[in-house]
Amino acid sequence: MNAHFSASSTGNIKHFLNISDLDSATLRDIITLAKNMKAMQENRKFPLHPAEPIKGRMVALIFSKPSTRTRVSFEVGVKQLGGSAIVLSTHEMQIGRGETIQDTARVLSRFVDAIVLRTGSNDDLLELAHWSSVPVINGLTPFSHPSQVMADIITFEEHLGPIKGRTIAWVGDGNNVANSLIEAAAQFEFKIRLATPETLMPSEKVLQWAKNKGADILLTCNPKEAVSGADCVVTDTWVSMSDDDPEKRLKILEPYRVNQALMALAAPNAIFMHCLPAHVGEEVTKDVFESARSVVFDEAENRLHAHKAMLIWCMMGDNWRQYGER
């Protein structure tokens, strides 16, 4: 565990809180497992996972913020692996009336075998993981979105081959997805070029961690500089779920829209990625979003495969790698 970002490790429990927490070989093996499981699904042999690795196990999916992809892909993934999912909104739980995260973690640990949490507070995620005696997976906080970026690695590689040494350009808000992408740049050894306004830069702690790990990072306020020659251009909404200053952001981010003129500066076969939901016309123009270069729906699908591999890593102890065998 990385002491800067994560709850202290509780025994041998494997939490997936941030991409910086795992070693790069393990992350690579999780990606390989996800790709293998995707191939199984494409062969359409049912049941998809006859070994049902998490048969009889329960996973709680807890959301204090809206979600389409994370919620559905985790629920489908748990069921495909033979387990059962319980989807909960914090508004319906006693957390919503002030029960502590500490007590919630200790209670849920008596009922379920893993917890996925989407929350508006990164501290709440760390607190939950600290007190939970079952694995906790980060389903998005304002600080990071690692399950998204695991899917993004798969998506890049299925379109353009190994990501190591390639160049990814991030244009727009230096937000939670950007932070996880920077951590991934260090772990998967790709170059990252970030164009953000000075007031919306990614986390300094994340940048420092990635630089200490030898990551090749360029920070600029100029989208053209970031995108020039890049293999992939990535953006995200200008107003994230936890932001409370939409008008200010929309104004500051206006020069950071990904349009055809910007994409023309990237490599000739460059792809466009976006975690979705998109606000077409704001952070990306319709012609880019709907173009052949846009792989956003592959990205969405790959959430499923990434999440299944993450669940197996978290829940299957030391034998988790065997579930990648076909």
CA-atom Rg of the chain in angstroms: 19
Question: Shortest CA distance to 101 belongs to which of 74, 134, 130?
Answer: 130
Among candidate residues 71, 118, 257, 274, the one labeled active-site is 118
241 binds ligand NVA (CB under 6 A): yes
Name residue 294's beta-bridge partners.
272
151 binds ligand NVA (CB under 6 A): no
Q: Which two tokens stand for residue 136?
A: 């906790």
Cis peptide before 223 (omega within 30 of 0): no
CB–CB of 46/34 below 8 Å? no
Residue 236 binding target from ligand CP, ligand NVA, none, CB below 5 to 8 Å by type: ligand NVA
Residues in contact with ligand CP, total (CB under 6 A)? 9
- 162: preceding bond cis by omega (within 30 degrees): no
Chain residues 238-297 in contact with ligand CP, contact rule CB under 6 A: 275-276
Q: Smaller CB distance to ligand CP: residue 20 or 237?
A: 237
94 belongs to the catalytic site: no
Pair of tokens at residue 200: 């919306």
Residue 99 CA, chain-centre distance (Å), reads 28
Does 91 qualify as catalytic in the annotation? no
Residues whose CB is less than 8 angstroms from the CB of residue 300 and which lie 6 or more positions away in sequence, other chains included = 69, 73, 151, 276
Q: Does residue 237 bind ligand CP (CB under 6 A)?
A: no
Question: Residue 240, Cβ neighbours under 10 Å: how many?
Answer: 18
- Does 176 interact with ligand NVA (rule: CB under 6 A)? yes
Nearer to ligand NVA, 109 or 235 (CB): 235
Interface with ligand NVA, residue 175, by CB under 6 A: yes
User: What is the C-alpha separation between 57 and 114, in angstroms, rounded?
Assistant: 8
> Where does this chain touch ligand CP (CB under 6 A) — which range of 68-76, 88-96, 163-171, 185-193?
68-76
Q: Is 180 in the site for ligand CP (CB under 6 A)?
A: no
Q: Of residues 129-158, which lie at the interface with ligand CP (CB under 6 A)?
A: 140, 148
235 binds ligand NVA (CB under 6 A): no
Q: Contact letters (x/-) for ligand NVA, 258-277, by CB under 6 A? A: -----------------x--
Structure tokens given for 96 = 């919503």
Quick one: which of 137, 178, 190 has its CA closest to 273? 178
The interface region with ligand NVA, picked from 46-54, 115-123, 154-162, 170-178 by CB under 6 A, is: 170-178
Footprint of ligand CP (CB under 6 A): 67-71, 140, 148, 275-276
Footprint of ligand NVA (CB under 6 A): 140, 145, 175-177, 236-237, 240-241, 275
Residues annotated catalytic, as ranges: 118, 145, 148, 236, 275, 303
